[in-house]
Structure 1
Amino acid sequence: MKWYASLATACVFLAACGAPSGDSGESEAAAESVAEPTGLLNVYSARHYDSDKELYKRFEDETGIRIRFRESGAAELLEAMKAEGDNSPADVIISSDAGTLYRFKDAGLMQPVESELLATRIPEHFRDPDNHWYGLAKRLRVIVYDPARVEPEQVDEYADLASANLEGDVCMRSSTNIYNLSLMGELIDRLGKDTAEAWARSVVANFARPPQGGDTGQIEAIAAGQCSVALVNHYYWVRMTQGSDAQRKSVEKTMLSFPQQDSWGAHVNVTGAGVAAHAPHKEAAIQFIEWLAGEEGQFLLTTETKEIPLVAGAEMPEGLDRLPPDFKESVFPLNKLGENQAEAQAIYDRAGWN
């Protein structure tokens, strides 16, 4: 993992950016001014998007607070922070999925934050009940299918993926993937452990191939005729509609179904952020998360990812008009996705969902 920083920030860590080495107070003051004019913020992010670089730059330009960011997988960042202990330089943690945010909180790597602005803008069920993290953008885990082989009514519930009518037609990614773990975390609560496990066993019986690849790979597999249905986060499908010629040709062979429209609604999750437990720049960290909940932050956070802005009235990214305008989404306490995570993995393991 590497740190990335603007030139001004880098100067802080490279000893005054070549300032004169004399002993005069004037020289020392000048060096201090060049090194850190107004503030510093260290961001640990599990996201990897070019638009995030622009996001950091905009925040720097508007506030004068220089951002250093460290990007890696959520598991790698978590282990790095554990190793750093009380001396961790992390101020802000950004990660996708409430399940991964739970892992940081459960490891004692986040601290509660009281913010009237965030409490007003972020709906209660999209934030940690103890205010350790706040959701900032949302995604839905939906069913993608081949309309030439499957009728819409065959895939309007998650339960349909376990139907004998889809034997040999289902593609999936690994059970260890956090998106699948979080979905199971909700199903455990909605259906009960026994019914959720029976569902998982029946889905495994319908596999067209062993679990593999990411969400984009599931869509491509359907387009290639390897299977007929799969689970994906909505934004992978939307991004493919604006991708390469090959991606557009693949995605146009498929459609999305938003399950549970007659019951609790489609499974929803978040990208969120929290303040690190030992943040050396706590106030700047809170300011940054609040900025992400503002108009500009919401747009930059979602414009490339094609997630859905979480703050009411925020501008929608291009391409989201391909989704139904009035779908029903689940209102479910997202902290339970993390609390049920171990049981979710155990269920998948017993079901043979590798």
Structure 2
Amino acid sequence: MRLPILALALCGTALPALAQEVNVYTTRQPFLIEPVMEAFTAETGITVNLAHIDKGLVERLKSEGDRSPADLVMTVDIANLQQIVDADVLQPVDNETLKSAVPEALRSPDDLWFALTSRARVVYASKERVADGEVTTYEDLASDKWKGRICTRPGVHDYNLALLAAVIAHQGEEAAKEWAAGLKANLARKPEGNDRAQVKAIWAGECDISLTNTYYMGAMLADDEQKAWAESVRIVFPTFEDGGTHINVSGVAMTKSAPNKDDAVKLMEFLVSPAAQAIYAEVNHEYPVLEGADLSELVASWGEINADDVNLTELAKLRPAALRIMEEVGYDN
């Protein structure tokens, strides 16, 4: 027999309380996220369940559809964020706390994702073979003075495609193609390996500079074997001739299914708070997106960054053109 609504209300205190939790799908290693999630739980009492999904995140969300237990997704790089947007598995979050904390260039114009931290694609330069002031602009990396002195990972990797997309945004496709060809002509070896491998090559004397993300410096300094590689170089922040230093982001978005939407919004708001920004950025050796949030001592030691203000969504749209250019110049051949 069904109880009347009034009876249900009166006996409500005898029913178990609904669990407060947020389910997060993430491509980031759990140890990079757990400290800030533990701080959120300590402050709110809301449990965060992390599911690390290294590959196939979009496919999983699409296959689960409305049944997905995921409330939020956290990933890195604008290419991955845009792929999730294109899969139509997200819902917008129109939230003033998020909008006031995250600069406009670092969030989706339709409120589908918000950056949490940023990283810069910069030059790692040999302390022994590269003079102070020798590295200037991204455009200059295609000049003859760098002939045989540059190492990079493959050009079709997302990090380098995002940088080339930024070149297109500033200079146009024809100039970007000339730049990619010039960069290729200056390579000391065939593009191979990851970002750390490029720094190792500098340490080994194979090249003098590399294109590498900032946070790898922190990761290498914490590794017994790689510490020597890191100590052989310094970070230099090139800029575009008409802009700033190219950056990319880690970000968060809410799924369409979001069974715990209210608590998920609370977590999103917490992630852009000053305390959370400091924790998350320090663990990852990245830059907070919240203006005025504390930098880690190590990240601050690298110097100030004048971030480029091209909206990352625009860069995502230019990614196909960047890929075509890399293939046309045969960058990885």
Same fold (TM over 0.5): yes
Which amino acid in the other structure matches residue 109 of structure 1? V
Q: Structure 1: which 5+ residue stretches go unaligned?
A: 1-28
Determine whether 1:66 maps to 2:47: yes
CA distance in structure 1 between the aligned counterparts of 2:259 and 2:142, rounded to whole angstroms: 49
State the identity %.
Answer: 32
Q: Give the AA of the match of 1:203.
A: L
Mapping of 1:128-277 within 5 angstroms?
A: 128-240=108-220, 242-260=221-239, 263-277=242-256
In structure 2, which of residues 74, 92, 102 is the aligned counterpart of residue 94 of structure 1? Answer: 74
Q: 1:86 to 1:38 in 2, by over 3 A?
A: closer
Measured in 2, the distance between the counterparts of 1:32 and 1:149 equals 71
Quick check: 1:337 aligned with 2:315? yes
8 Å Cα contact 1:49-1:305 kept in structure 2: no
2-structure distance, mates of 1:201, 1:49: 39
Assess if the C-alpha contact under 8 Å between 2:119 and 2:286 holds in 1.
Answer: yes
Give the Cα–Cα distance (whole angstroms) in 2 for the partners of residues 76 and 170 of structure 1: 33
Following superposition, which runs of at least 4 residues in structure 1 exceed 6 angstroms of deviation? 29-32
Q: Deviations over 1:324-347 (max 9, x none)?
A: 23x322111110111111111111
- Partner Cα distance (2:156, 2:56) in 1: 15
The one-letter code sitting in structure 2 at the alignment partner of 1:59 is F
Q: Distance in 1 between matches of 2:132 and 2:76?
A: 29
- Provide the rounded CA distance (Å) in 2 between the counterparts of 1:343 and 1:261: 19
- Whether the 8 Å CA contact 2:30–2:50 is kept in 1: the answer is no
* Aligned-residue offset at 1:223: 0.8
Task: Report the Cα distance in structure 1 between the residues aligned to 2:329 and 2:131, rounded to whole angstroms.
Answer: 27
Q: Distance in 1 between matches of 2:32 and 2:18?
A: 25
Q: TM-score w.r.t. structure 1 length?
A: 0.85
Query: What secondary structure is seen at the aligned counterpart in 1 of 2:127?
Result: coil
What is the aligned length?
A: 322
Does residue 53 in structure 1 map to residue 53 in structure 2? Answer: no
Q: 1:322 aligns with which of 287, 293, 301?
A: 301
Match of 2:9 in 1: none
- Contact kept, 8 Å, 2:30 with 2:52, in 1: the verdict is no
Residue correspondence of structure 1 range 10-49 to structure 2 within 5 A:
33=16, 37-49=18-30
Shift of 1:274: 0.9
Q: Aligned partners of 1:153, 1:163: CA distance in 2, in Å?
A: 15
The one-letter code sitting in structure 1 at the alignment partner of 2:227 is R
Q: Which moved more, 1:208-217 or 1:137-146?
A: 208-217
1:62-114 CA deviation, whole Å, 9 max, x = no partner?
222222211123x5211211222232221101111222111111111211111
Deviations 1:224-269 (A, max 9, x none): 11111111111112333x3234323222211222112763111012
Residue in structure 2 matched with residue 300 of structure 1 by the alignment: 279
Unaligned runs of 5+ in 2: 1-11
In 1: Cα distance, 2:194 partner to 2:155 partner: 11
Q: Tell me the CA shift for residue 49 of structure 1.
A: 4.6
Task: Tell me how far 1:304 sits from its aligned partner.
Answer: 1.6
One-letter code aligned to 1:329: A
The RMSD of aligned alpha carbons is: 2.2
